[in-house]
Amino acid sequence: MRTIDESTGPEVPRGLPGRGTAVPDARAARAGVPTIPLPRVSASAAARTAPVARAAVPASASTGIADLLRGPVRPARVLMTAPAAVYLQVPTDHGTDIVGVLTSDAARLPLGCVLFRPSNGRPLVALPSGAPAEVGGGRIVVGDLAVSAAAWWDPRPRLPSPRPALLPEGVRQLRNALYGEGVPHSAFTLPGLPAGPGGPLAALRGAVRRADLDAALRTAARLIGLGPGLTPAGDDVMAGTMAGLVLLGHPAAERFAAGVYSLAAGRTTELSRALLRHAAAGRVSGEYAAVLHGLVGERPLSPAIASLLATGSTSGRAMALGMCTAIDLVERTTRR
């Protein structure tokens, strides 16, 4: 123990091992000043009570979330945790936004910060849905995990020109992989979406045949929020269509994308709405971007198509359908 006036009194005499109390100052005792004992904090106890500085795990971050990562520290809420992804909802000045911490083998979403470790290394398993979280100041913190951006990647693919020419054989290969070779497009279905001539996919095909973007936008009102999961299949079709129109240079792409995004308010999940916002700006997943690069002859196309179609249970096929829809709309608009 030590006392309040220990700073002015004599030190504990040397040669008294095991003594923890200093000798009170005689002057303080004569003056009637109380000597209140204070606890002596050991070095080990101080180490236990000191705040622990988390060592940040390096990751590759999308420039689509750069403003959130570099901005002020904001509290966040865990939307969902899985072995390959954790999604956080972050309040902003304009509402809310979504940020994802993804493993290296997860879909490379435009709102993601991608770790350099796969999901079988279990880097995200110990993060419960109620874990405290925050985003900003250059980091994402979830529970005991802190992630910092050691590198950046651009989710908007850089194509050769604002209106790139696609390889006809590549477009044919994409359609055959999606629909099936020799199978009519009208037979294509997606789980969770109504099939048949009165369904929304049939209406979308009709709008494409007529190159009627307004009719396609009306179809979006039927597709947004349709289907199970955090990203319903109907949303993925529209996201693929929006991004394709923007990246392939359709003259009305901006108007169409703004119309679809406005329809999403209150109709779908927060994660899906955030992905629609990124799609409206031409920011897409790495798998979607790889197919576009293959269609302009910059990368191998076959493995890119296979990787996109294998994304999620329905998301990859729905995004590919949206891409084909955008290609058809651009071709028919250009032809007219």
Average model confidence (pLDDT) across the chain: 85
DSSP type of residue 69: H
Distance of CA 227 to the CA centre of its chain: 20
Do residues 148 and 175 share a domain? Answer: no
Take residue 122 and report the two structure tokens written for it.
């279990």
Do residues 263 and 318 share a domain? Answer: yes
Give the separation between CA 202 and CA 213, rounded to whole angstroms: 15
Do residues 190 and 330 share a domain? Answer: yes
Q: Would you call 143 exposed, middle or buried from its count of C-beta atoms within 10 A (0-12, 13-18, 19+)?
A: middle
Q: By C-alpha distance, which of 120, 152, 135, 318 is closest to 236?
A: 318
Whether 161 maps to a domain, the answer reads: no
Q: By C-alpha distance, which of 324, 329, 311 is closest to 105?
A: 311
Give the separation between CA 89 and CA 78, rounded to whole angstroms: 6
Average pLDDT over residues 317-331: 96
Do residues 203 and 123 share a domain? Answer: no
H or E element, residue 244: helix 233-247
Give the separation between CA 322 and CA 238, rounded to whole angstroms: 6
Give the separation between CA 236 and CA 64, rounded to whole angstroms: 18
DSSP type of residue 138: T
Do residues 107 and 26 share a domain? Answer: no
Average pLDDT over residues 85-98: 93
Question: With bands split at pLDDT 50, 70 and 90, how would you rate the model's confidence at 38?
Answer: very low
Do residues 125 and 180 share a domain? Answer: no
Whether 159 maps to a domain, the answer reads: no
Whether 158 maps to a domain, the answer reads: no
Per residue in 162-221, pLDDT (tens digit) is 999 999 999 999 999 999 888 888 788 898 898 888 899 999 999 999 999 999 999 999
Give the separation between CA 142 and CA 133, rounded to whole angstroms: 4
Take residue 248 and report the two structure tokens written for it.
């392939």
Q: By C-alpha distance, which of 89, 84, 101, 85 is closest to 140?
A: 101
Indicate the residue among 153, 177, 202 that finishes a domain.
Answer: 153
Do residues 180 and 328 share a domain? Answer: yes
Indicate the residue among 106, 126, 153 that finishes a domain.
Answer: 153
Q: Is 165 helix (H, G, I), strand (E, B) or coil?
A: coil
Q: How many distinct structural domains can be found in the chain?
A: 3
User: Do strands 2-3 and 85-92 pair parallel, antiparallel, or not at all (unpaired)?
Assistant: unpaired
Whether 163 maps to a domain, the answer reads: no
Do residues 206 and 226 share a domain? Answer: yes
Take residue 22 and report the two structure tokens written for it.
């200093």
Angle between helices 213-223 and 200-209 (to 10 degrees): 170
Question: With bands split at pLDDT 50, 70 and 90, how would you rate the model's confidence at 335?
Answer: low
Range of the domain at 146: 57-153
Question: With bands split at pLDDT 50, 70 and 90, how would you rate the model's confidence at 69?
Answer: very high
- Residues forming a β-bridge with 147: 57, 140
Give the separation between CA 261 and CA 240, rounded to whole angstroms: 13
Whether 63 maps to a domain, the answer reads: yes
Whether 310 maps to a domain, the answer reads: yes
For the whole prediction, is pTM greater than 0.85?
no
Do residues 268 and 215 share a domain? Answer: yes
The CA distances from residue 225 to 6, 229, 231, 268, in Å, are: 71, 10, 8, 4
Give the separation between CA 237 and CA 4, rounded to whole angstroms: 72
DSSP type of residue 39: P
In this structure, are residues 336 and 211 in contact, taking their beta carbons and an 8 Å threshold? Answer: yes
In this structure, are residues 145 and 88 in contact, taking their beta carbons and an 8 Å threshold? Answer: no
Do residues 73 and 220 share a domain? Answer: no
Whether 162 maps to a domain, the answer reads: no
Whether 256 maps to a domain, the answer reads: yes
Do residues 212 and 65 share a domain? Answer: no
Question: With bands split at pLDDT 50, 70 and 90, how would you rate the model's confidence at 336?
Answer: low
Indicate the residue among 126, 153, 180 that finishes a domain.
Answer: 153
Do residues 275 and 149 share a domain? Answer: no
